Structure formats: C-alpha cells, structure tokens
Amino acid sequence: MMESQPIDSREPRPSASKGYPRLAARIVVAMALALVLLHFGVGLARFCRFAITCPYEIDYGEAVLLQGAVNIAQGQVVYNNYHHYPFVAATYPPAYPALCAIGVRVFGVSFAFGRVLSILSALAVTALIWLILRRVGTSHFAAGLAAALFLASPVVCLRMPMMRVDMVAVALGLGGLYCVMRGGRWLIPAVALLVLAVYTRQSQVVPLAAGVLYLWWAKERKAAALVAASCSALILAGFLALQAASHGWFYRHVVVANRNLWDFGYLRMVWAAGFHPWRFPFVIGAVGAALALLGPARSEVATSSGPQRRPERLLVLYFAFAMLVSLTAGKIGSFVNYLLEPIAAASVMSGVAYHRLAEILLARRWNIVWAAAWLIMVVPPAWVLAQPGRGPCGPYRFVNPDVITRSGVEALPLLRRARGDVLSEDIGLLLLSGHRVLLDPHKMTSMSEDGTWDQRPLLADIARRRFVLIITSWDPATAVPDQWGCYGRHRWTAGMAQAIKGNYRLLRRAGDLFVLAPADAGHPSFDAARAARVTAPAPAVEGLSNECG
C-alpha cells in the first residue's frame, strides 16, 4: 500500500486589481493576532512557569497520579484491593504514571516532571493540528489559525501545565490519527501511538475508532482490519498482563471505579464551564464537518489500490466521536478536562471550515465578502484571548498561586511534625511530608454513592479518632452539604462529614485548608497535633496573582 501524497492546498488566485481587499484583511488580521498572541503568550508562559516551580498540588487528582508514579518507581502495587487501606482507586491505565515514574527516579517526588510532560504534549497537539490540516489540504493561514484556536481555549490554558493524563492522551491520539492519514508504512507507528493513547486514558478509543472506520470508508478494508486486529490484540495482551499482575484488581480500578453516578444537570454545568467562553469554534467546527461531507470532493488522495481517499472524513469521524464522548462529563465529580478531546477536534474542524469557506468565496471572486468573513471569523478567538478574565488562569479563578503556596507552606510543617496516620484532602501534602496516602476522599466518595465501596471501616476509624490530623477544604463548624448531599466540592460523603464534625475540632487554618485535630484534649493524637502546631508566617509570593489574571 503506497503512502498517501499531500494535497495541493493552493488557493485560487484572484486578479491583482481585485486582490487588495484580501491583502488588506490579511495584514490587519496578522497585526491584530500578533498583538493578542503576544499578550496571551506572556501570561500563559508565566502560568506554566509557576506550575513547574510550584511544589504543591494545583489541581485535585495530580497527587493520585504522583502516588502511582511513586509506587511504580519503588516497584510497589498500583492497583490494590481498595476495600482495605489504602482506600485509593487508580482510575487511569498505567502509561502516564509509568512515564512520570522516570521523573521520580531521577528527580525525586515532585510534580514538575509530569507538568513538563503535559506542557510539551499541549505544544505537540498544537503542532499536530497544523500538520493534519496541511495534510488535508488547507492553507498555512487556516491551519495556523486552527492551531491557535486550540491554545486559545481557556480549558487548554488551565489544563496545559497540570500533572494530568489528558493532554498526553490527546497528543498520542492525534499523533495516531496523523499516521493513519498518511497510510502505508505509517500505519505501524499509528498502531503503537493509538494503543499507548488507550493505555493513557480509556476515552482514547475515539481516535482508534475514527481511524479504523475511516480506512474502511476509504475502501482500504485490509488496512482497516490489520489496524483493528493489531490494536485489539495489543490492548487485550496488556489488559491480561495487568490483570494477572494486580490479581484481578486492574479491571476494578479502571472500569468499575469509573462508574460514577451520571447527572444531566452536572453535565450542563461542566459544559457551561468549558464551552461557554469558547463556543464559537464548535459552531464553526460543525460547519466544517457539514462542508466536508456535503461539499465537493476537493481533498482527495490516490492510493495504490485505486480508490480515492477523502481525508477530511477522518476528521469528521473524530469530531463526531469526540462530541459523543464529551457526554461522560456528566459523571458527578468530573471536570472540564473531559472536554479537551472535543476542543482539539473542534479546532481541527474549524481549520477545515475556514479553508472551505475561503475556497467558495474566492472561486466566485467575492473578495470583499472573503475579507469580511475572515475578519468575522478571527475576531471571536482574538476576543477570547484578549479578555483579562479569560487568560491563562481564567475564567476559572480558583487557580490562585498565592493561596496554593500559602496553604502548602503553612500546612506542610504541621504534617512533617505529626506522628501517626493523617487524612488529607490535599494528597500532595502527604506525599511531600512522607506520610502514607490512606484515602482519596473524592474518588471513594463517588464509589460509596454508587455502592462500589463500603465506607463503614473508615467511619469507624474516624469515630475512634485514629487519625492524628485531618485536613479538609471546609470548616466543620459552618459547612453545609451540596445538592448531592456531599461536602467539600463532592469530596466527602455525608457520613464522613458527620463523623469528622463529631470527633474533630479546628486546630488552625492554613491558607484555604482547615487542619483538624481530635476533639478529646486528653487523647494522644490531640497532644501530638498540638505539638505539631507551628505559626511560621507564609513567605511572600509577590506578583504571582497579577501574572495570572
């Protein structure tokens, strides 16, 4: 099977006398985008610098992945029996923690290595969007604008420097799609990348399914069967090996533990948070999908077997499947990271739409209309980038460097002096202080709600005041349950909260964290907690807040 050849993406050239509106529009757009991207790039670079140098957990979930990396680096079990201590569910496959384990072995317990991986992956996704669109046949300008749209998303800006699996998984999946699009010998690395993507995040079956269906649609049935069979065999072999190594607990962690309760109201809340400030590319992406399916077949690539490929169809499939998978954001406890795949797919389809619309307008010599259309299409993403509240830290203002740093600086000495078991909502502090991670409150709360995990042993230990300290993000004296009956942003069940309220009292406030000690002044744990109490002032972190907003 011959490798597919790139498509000629030259746009029809209007006469020189009628090309001035187009040239003027390009100059204006280029100057405006240069200024906006300069303002945006400086803010994003500062946010990434803060994330890399910050020793504390920025986003909930980072520490669970770091714990998995530490376990792998030390040769310990990752997928354990979560019905006994530690009550922690590793809900993602092991590819990303295994990569981060390299950083743990070389640099020690730190979030920095995983965050650098995520930043590099985001840049790789940006480059892949450009390469894919050039392969489809779009102009340099349309491909570059689509790549910039991806970085313009507030969700991408927020998740880009986080130690999470999402950005790495999207990069691997898009890399696999690019290899599928090239065909021929590129199908070998395509299989490797698509399998790695699935073993980074389960939802990466999206690019795998899109690639196989595209090859089948292009009448390359043999290639489609080989890719499907190879990926299935490798995924199954890895699954069986991990099942055997974990004594059957791998499936319970990555499948059973992910069966959170689904709520349509929660889905609307996550969609509003992720799509509202960036809805324009989804509209343009849908237009691009319609033009790719219904428009003239101008993007075709000849194969050795004779039939004509239309690589735009691969992008349409990817866009459609990604939007379907975004429905999983309705799982209670999920967040906007579930929308990174749809955002990448919408960015790609936006590039297709921009190029197709330019072809239609220029073919009719409607240069003034073309210039106006380009300005209209460029203004919304530029407006998103230029808004001070929608920069790298917005609109999600909870990423406050001052508060994150102060919480860690004030709580960490308490943990280092405490002797005994500790529960902490900020799991990263436990890893940095050398304490065992005994509970992931967020995941175990979700599993308790759907009946996957029995919380009664934990409630008994809280009632007998086993833990020398408990660190939460809510004050037991004033906290009230959310609409689902849970506490602390859905991280503690009502039973946990009531047990804590009845047996623990506030020892001190550390930033936005509440450090609790056993209520009985004569209890040994209370004496240990009092001995651990320090009043060292938090160092100044001047300028960090201003850099992010």
Check residue 119 and give its pLDDT: 94
Q: Which residues of 121-144 are buried (b: 16+ CB within 10 A; e: fewer)?
A: bbebbbebbbbbbbbbbbbebbbb
For residue 16, give the DSSP letter. Answer: G
- For residues 429 and 435, give the distance between their C-alpha atoms in angstroms, rounded to a whole number: 8
pLDDT value at position 229?
Answer: 96
Its pTM stands at 0.83
Give 331's strand partners: 262
- Tokens 């955002």 found at: 343
pLDDT at residue 533 in the model = 45
Closest CA to 532 of 519, 545, 547, 516: 516
Output helix, strand, coil percentages for the chain, rounded to the nearest 5.
65, 5, 30
Q: Give the pLDDT confidence score for residue 66 in this predicted structure.
A: 94
- What is the pLDDT at residue 463? 93
Cis check: omega of the bond before 86, within 30 degrees of 0: yes
Burial of 154 (0-12, 13-18, 19+ CB in 10 A): buried
CA distance 133 to 292: 13
Q: Specify the pLDDT at position 373.
A: 57
Q: What was the pLDDT predicted at 299? A: 46
- Res 536: pLDDT: 38
What pLDDT digit, counting tens, does each position of 32-57 carry?
666 666 666 777 788 888 889 999 99
How far is CA 528 from its chain centroid? 39
Token pair 């960090």 in the structure block, residue: 544
pLDDT of the residue at 300: 47
DSSP string of 143-195? HHHHHHHHHH-HHHHHHTTSS-SHHHHHHHHHHHHHHHHH-GGGHHHHHHHHH
Alpha carbon of 4 to those of 136, 185, 306: distances in Å? 11, 10, 11
Query: Low-confidence residues of the chain, pLDDT below 70?
Result: 1-26, 28-30, 32-40, 275-278, 280, 295-309, 361-399, 479-489, 521-549
